[in-house]
Amino acid sequence: MEEQMWFDINHIDKKKFLILYSAAHKKALNESNIKSDFRATELVLYDSEQILSCLNIQMHTPSHPGTSHSSQAFWATATPHNVQQLEQQTEKVMTYFRCHMHSSFSPIN
């Protein structure tokens, strides 16, 4: 078919179309392309382990109430079990990014 296109022959019969379509379909719709397209359109969930591994977290013992760090809420990562926990965790991660990363938030490939 490619040779025919070089000679400006653009006609293709139904039988040849179905053969070429099947081959193109298999090549285009593979797992890698689909995942890449979902990432590009932000229709994919973020890999929380991958995101958390990029955070610069320093472990420390929480301070006692009344000290200079008492205004900061202690937070340990855990799988949220309801919408409220998910929203709280999302807000804390986004706050961390705003305060510490100084860059735009984008999916990690």
* 67 and 22 inside one domain: no
Domain that holds residue 30: 2-38
Count of the separate structural domains present in the chain: 2
Q: Supply the DSSP symbol for 69.
A: T
Per-residue confidence (pLDDT) for residue 101, from 0 to 100: 61
* 28 and 64 inside one domain: no
* 29 and 54 inside one domain: no
Q: How far apart are CA 86 and CA 80, in angstroms?
A: 5
* 49 and 87 inside one domain: yes
Residue 42's φ and ψ, nearest 5 degrees, are: 60, 35
pLDDT, one tens digit per residue, over 28-56 is 888 888 888 888 887 766 677 777 777 76
Residues of the chain with pLDDT under 70: 1-9, 44-46, 56-76, 100-109
Position 15 in a domain: yes
